[in-house]
């Protein structure tokens, strides 16, 4: 953002005056007409806080367009914030459901471990392999971490 002499700017007749605290001097410029000086001062003071680049971006539409654009941006921001709240609520529901699912899967571990033990006792390599694969998948799920 480009810097300029801070407001308030003043009009004295056909003159526009502004004080610069940077070097503690007054800048004065003379306009051809008093109404031009009045308009310059009014515009500069009214645009306080608006980056010069934003003002230059659409000179044909003027400040009214900039205000409408600002209102549109505010509406879009509010809509985005509402969407974020909605997804946060959905995420909380998902996290609760995920927690329940992990608990159920954890509860399945015991019967699978029992099946693995029995498969080893009866010397069933296919049963051992199947139960070991099930245990591996259970452990993989139980070790899932929620994203930060």
Query: In which band, very low, low, confident or very high, does the pLDDT at 1 lie, cut at 50, 70 and 90?
Result: very low
pLDDT given at position 7: 82
Residue 10 pairs in a beta bridge with: 17
pLDDT given at position 116: 93
Task: Tell me 91's DSSP state.
Answer: H
> Does position 12 have pLDDT exceeding 60, yes or no?
yes
Among residues 42, 39, 46, 12, the alpha carbon closest in space to that of 27 is found at 12
Residue 15 pairs in a beta bridge with: 12, 30
Whether this model's pTM surpasses 0.85: no
- Rounded CA-CA distance 56/51 in Å is 9
Q: Where are the domains of the chain?
A: 10-57, 80-142
The per-residue pLDDT for range 17-42, each reduced to its tens digit, is 888 888 888 888 999 999 999 999 99
Q: Assess contact for 106 and 142: CB atoms under 8 A.
A: yes
């Amino acid at each position: 953002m480009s810097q300029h002499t801070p407001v308030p700017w003043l009009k004295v007749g056909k003159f526009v005056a502004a004080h610069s605290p940077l070097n503690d001097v007054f800048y004065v410029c003379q306009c051809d007409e008093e109404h031009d000086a009045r308009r310059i001062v009014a515009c500069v003071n009214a645009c306080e806080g608006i980056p010069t680049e934003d003002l230059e971006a659409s000179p044909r539409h003027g400040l009214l367009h900039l205000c409408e654009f600002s209102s549109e941006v505010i509406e879009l921001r509010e809509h985005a914030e509402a969407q974020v709240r909605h997804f946060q609520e959905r995420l909380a529901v998902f996290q609760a459901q995920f927690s329940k699912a992990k608990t159920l899967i954890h509860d399945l571990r015991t019967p699978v471990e029992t099946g693995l033990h029995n498969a080893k006792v009866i010397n069933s390599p296919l049963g051992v392999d199947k139960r070991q694969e099930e245990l591996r998948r259970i452990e993989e799920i139980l070790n899932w971490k929620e994203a930060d």
